[in-house]
Structure 1
Amino acid sequence: MKKTFIFTILLSVLIGVCEVKSQIGTRFPSERKVVKDSVTGVDLIFLTSTPAGDSKIYPTHPQWSADGNWLIFRSNRVKGEAMAVNESTGDIIQVTEGGYDGMLTLARKEMRLYYMRKLDVGDMEVVSIDLAKLFADSMTKKLKTKSVYETIHGIVPKAIGNGGDMALDAEENQIYFKTNKEESAKHLAENVSIEPIFGPRNMGAGPGGIASMDLKSGEISHVVSVPFQVGHVQTNPWAANEIIFCWETGGKSPQRTWTVLADGTGLRPLYPESEYEWVTHEAVISKDEVAMAIMGHRPVDFGTENPNESSAANPGQETSWGPSGTREKPTGLAIVNIRTREMRIEGQTESGSGLWHVHGSPDGRWAVGDDFSRTIYLIDRNTKEMKMLSTGHKTTAADHPHPTFSPDGTKIQIQSAMLSEDDRSMNICIVSVPEHWLKRTYDQVFQ
């Protein structure tokens, strides 16, 4: 009886510890360390450095809090919860409680984090966190219950929603999210032909759609329906009511990039592509520009040898993707102007896969990309000079580096397995633009 009593007490204590550990605002010790890239000599600032299942927000969305001091990221430090790390001090703070689904979405005008959270019935509630209040209370060790920091803006019913992929409008008064096939079909014209699957991943079939939610009233409105699978919904953070999205197939699409306005007008391909172009990983980088990769990862004589072989280190080799992705046509890091519709290729690696995940600085000076080897390349958009910025991030990593510029255009966030003993677990890392590049002056800066 005594042993049972002691065991019960110990169990209660352990449960209590777990509950405290999962509370919003819980702090974790700094892991910040600076590592010099052994090849390029560039300092890599690892804001996390333990194998805790870290991964950054996707490059389509903001990474830094509105004050520029904190980066939000996913982590298994507390399974299913999101974290923030202070770039200067390395302090790590838990910023959600009760889980989240899909995209973590940071506001730029105020210290607020938006996300969706699944309810028991399968509906999704749209939640935001007052980061300023949370960080202040965490620092002073005066944490309150999560309801003090949370605002519930509305519910996306299971009957219309399609996961937690969402984006915040530039005015920060509404969010956009994907709708499921049934809901999307209701708003599609009868004479529109539904697209079938495309490529070996059996993805891409329609219909798909986008809806919006007013963050004050919770009112939901339909934006647009299309005859294909919708993916990577993002907004232009500098232009209200402007949405960018893609035809998602898991690889090459017949027409990858699309744009539409919040009222459903203006639907068009962002960059009209041919069957010979493999366009992917589009990201809004400034008020008028979207960066994207035109892949050059297949041999010119593609299809003559091992046509169906593909791997994590050399993906996209299956013949069912079609004839695109070779360097018989122009490839590289491309930037398209939303207003003029003009496209420029800013650079491309001399060999290998070519640039894969791409981004750029809002001031128009820099572009950045990674390749299949997980090497990071920086491009000066004025001179077209390309520099290997960092390498050694391991092709065995759980994901790709996904380089993303800071709002001030002086540094790049990546995720890296460089420090991982298992060669897979990633950490959050900052790479600065070299000081002598930042000091360059030009007669003209392209914007």
Structure 2
Amino acid sequence: MNYNFKYRLAFPLNLSFLKRFFLLIIAFSVGSSMGFAQILEGVDYSHLRQVYHTFDMAGEDVFGQRFPAENYTFVDPVTGVTVNALTTSRHSSSKMYQTHPQWTPDGKYVVFTSNRTARQERGGGQAYALSMENFEIVQITTGDRGHNLHLGWHKNSAYLLRENQVVELKLDALLRDSEKGQVGEPDDYEVILGSIPDSIRPSGLGLDANEKRIFFSSRLEKDLSAIYSFDFETGKTTQLLEVPIWIGHLQANPYVSGEMMYCWETGGDSPQRMWYLSVDADGTVTNRSVYQERDNDWVTHEVFMGPDRILFHLMGHLDRLQVNQTGLYSLNVRTKELTFHGQTGGGGYWHCNASPDQKYIVADTFDGKLYRISATNPEEVVLLTQGHRLQSISPFTKEAHLHPSLSPDGKWVLINSSLLTDSDIMLIPLLP
């Protein structure tokens, strides 16, 4: 930071004043070189410089900066389960969408988004990594952070789209340097893997299981969409499919390369929601619907349960839907075997996910309850926590959707919550 002092000597200055003046100049210089050192009465408070930003409506957008832990543990008054609120400031914080990974592959960090450093004129917020060891928070994107950030399945990297560039963010190096207080420039941690043609508007990124390509969708017209692949090694973009619908919720199979699931997006019910696309080694593309919907079925919130199984809901919140059995289902995409995993009252389950070993399912409800269900016995149901959507008895409110996800080791459930603030992320033990 440069300071330009322009002044005119209108009267004689004594030596004492000059001494204080030059000491002030030195202090400014030292402060700049130390990254705005805050020394009061001989004590340096610089290492706590983020403490007073904890409850700011919008802090400074500083790449790699660290925020102190703001987690708060409490016992759910109904279930007795200890909940760890990982974020508690007045900002709006949200986990990644449930179809995508939440933890870095090594399990050391949860990645989430927040508006804690957003300025009104800039729009949205940034992405942050939260340590599972000490719950400190690190800012991992800055400025025009791009969109559709997707954590690696195996590498401690993140992949994102910035305009039409495909970018790999080296999280391993960034988080390591942040711990040391030696963060470089954003470009130091980015690899530009290539560019998608300007004629395509990419969205809905899915990372292939082999981490050598991404899949993404593009809305061509109101009722026309396409799916493409982008190869990291060749930089080639290939159109795989074109369909007369709006494609949404594209997710790659985390276990099997060349496979993905997507939905017929409407913002509500659709005639046939779930679709499955596979690309053979020779480039042959196969596209088919999965689970043939009946007229009174409302399918929603599908996720991968394993390499061969998907998990989804048949909504039961309307009278007309209750003509058929509603609730949690899994489907084997190879054999088409359908398994019922139960239903709850009060409108039924809403979002779902499964533990990596496929032994347990977690599902939420409109009013903010989170249940654990045995995958082999739908009668074995445990309420883990509740009260996370206090004003809601329907899906159409502004309170946070829980969107539960399981940790790679199968021990923790990560959710969004409106219990404490507008939106926080919280951690609940799967087997308390």
Bin of the TM-score, shorter chain as denominator length: 0.7 to 0.9
Kept in 2, the 8 Å contact 1:401–1:415? The answer is yes
Q: Bigger shift: 93-102 or 38-47?
A: 93-102
Match of 2:199 in 1: 159
Report the TM-score, using the length of structure 2 for normalisation: 0.81
Determine the structure 1 residue equivalent to 2:188: 148
Shift of 1:156: 2.5
User: C-alpha distance in 2, partners of 1:29/1:155?
Assistant: 37
The aligned residue for residue 327 of structure 1 is 322
DSSP-derived class of the 1:246 partner? strand
Match of 2:162 in 1: 117
TM-score by length of 1: 0.78
Counterpart residue number, 2:338: 343
Distance 1:288 1:26 in 2: 41
Paired residues for 1:356-375 under 5 Å: 356-375=350-369
Give the superposition deviation at 1:98.
Answer: 2.7
1:293 aligned to 305, 308, 313, which one?
313
Return closer, same or farther for 1:394/1:3 CA change in 2, 3 Å cut-off: farther
- How far is the alpha carbon of 1:179 from its aligned partner? 1.9
Query: Which is further off, 135-144 or 336-345?
Result: 336-345
Q: 1:84–1:92: 8 Å Cα contact kept in structure 2?
A: yes
Displacement of 1:400: 0.5
CA contact (8 A) 2:401 2:416 kept: yes
Q: After the TM superposition, which residues 7-406 of structure 1 pair with which residues of structure 2 at under 5 Å, given as runs?
A: 21-79=60-118, 80-118=125-163, 124-162=164-202, 164-181=203-220, 206-262=223-279, 263=283, 265-299=285-319, 323=320, 326-349=321-344, 351-384=345-378, 385-396=380-391, 398-406=399-407
Q: 1:24 to 1:264 in 2, by over 3 A?
A: farther
Q: Deviations over 1:294-315 (max 9, x none)?
A: 000013xxxxxxxxxxxxxxxx
Letter in 2 for 1:215: F
Runs of 4+ in 1 over 4 A off after TM superposition: 2-6
> Partner of 1:105: helix, strand, or coil?
strand
1:25 positional shift: 1.3
Alpha-carbon spacing, 1:395–1:227, altered in 2? closer, same or farther (3 Å): farther
Alignment deviations for residues 13-55 of structure 1 (CA, whole Å, 9 cap, x no partner)? 9xx989x942321111111221111111111111111121101
Deviation at 1:4, TM superposition (A): 11
1:97 to partner: Cα distance = 2.1
**Counterpart of 2:312 in 1: which secondary structure?**
strand
**In 1, Cα distance between the equivalents of 2:219 and 2:419?**
38
CA deviation after TM superposition for structure 1 residue 360, in Å: 0.8
Residue 265 of structure 1 and its aligned partner are, at CA, apart by 2.1
Q: Using the TM superposition, name which of 70-79 and 393-402 deviates more.
A: 393-402
Paired AA for residue 143 in structure 2: G
Q: How far off is 1:88 after superposition? A: 2.3
Looking at structure 2, the residues matched to 432 and 371 of structure 1 have their Cα atoms a distance apart, in angstroms, of 18
Contact conserved, 1:224 with 1:264, CA < 8 A, in 2?
A: no
Deviations 1:142-171 (A, max 9, x none): 111111111111222342124x32010000
The 8 Å contact of residues 65 and 107 in structure 1, kept in 2 or not, is answered as yes
Q: Work out whether residues 102 and 165 of structure 1, in 8 Å CA contact, stay in contact via their aligned partners in 2.
A: no
Classify the secondary structure of the residue corresponding to 2:286: coil
Of stretches 399-408 and 263-272 in structure 1, the one that deviates more from structure 2 is 263-272
Matched with 2:12 is: none
The whole-number CA distance in structure 2 between the counterparts of 1:101 and 1:133 is 20
**How many correspondences in the alignment?**
370
For 2:5 and 2:246, how far apart are their aligned partners in 1?
56
Structure 2: gaps spanning 5 or more residues: 8-24, 37-52, 54-58, 119-124, 392-397
Distance in 2 separating the partners of 1:165 and 1:264: 22
After superposition, what is the alpha-carbon deviation per residue over 1:265-298, rounded to whole angstroms, capped at 9, x for unaligned? 2210121111111001111121111111100001
In percent, how many aligned pairs have the same letter?
Answer: 35
Please tell me the residue identity of whatever aligns with 2:272. Q
How many angstroms does 1:180 deviate by?
Answer: 2.7
Deviations, residues 409-446 of structure 1 (Å, cap 9, x unaligned): 222110112112xxxx11111111124xxxxxxxxxxx
Q: 1:3 to 1:223 in 2, by over 3 A?
A: closer
Which residue does 1:191 correspond to in 2? none
Q: What is the CA distance between 1:117 and its match in structure 2? A: 1.7
Tell me, yes or no, if the aligned pair for 1:286 and 1:361 is still in contact at 8 Å: no
What's the offset of the Cα at 1:3? 13
**Which residue is equivalent to 2:425?**
428
Is the 2:262–2:276 contact (alpha carbons within 8 Å) kept by the matching residues of 1? Answer: yes
3-state DSSP of counterpart to 1:77: coil
- Quick one: which amino acid aligns to residue 427 of structure 1? D
1:201-226 CA-to-partner distances (Å, cap 9, x unmatched) read: xxxx5211100111233210111111
Partner of 1:195: none
What is the distance in 1 between the residues matched to 2:301 and 2:188?
A: 37
Question: Cα RMSD (Å) of the superposition?
Answer: 2.5
Q: Partners in 1 of 2:6 and 2:418 — Cα distance? A: 45
CA contact (8 A) 2:105 2:408 kept: no
CA contact (8 A) 1:57 1:103 kept: no
Partner Cα distance (1:270, 1:288) in 2: 12
What CA distance in whole angstroms lies between the structure 2 residues aligned with 1:78 and 1:285?
A: 35
2:174 partner SS = helix
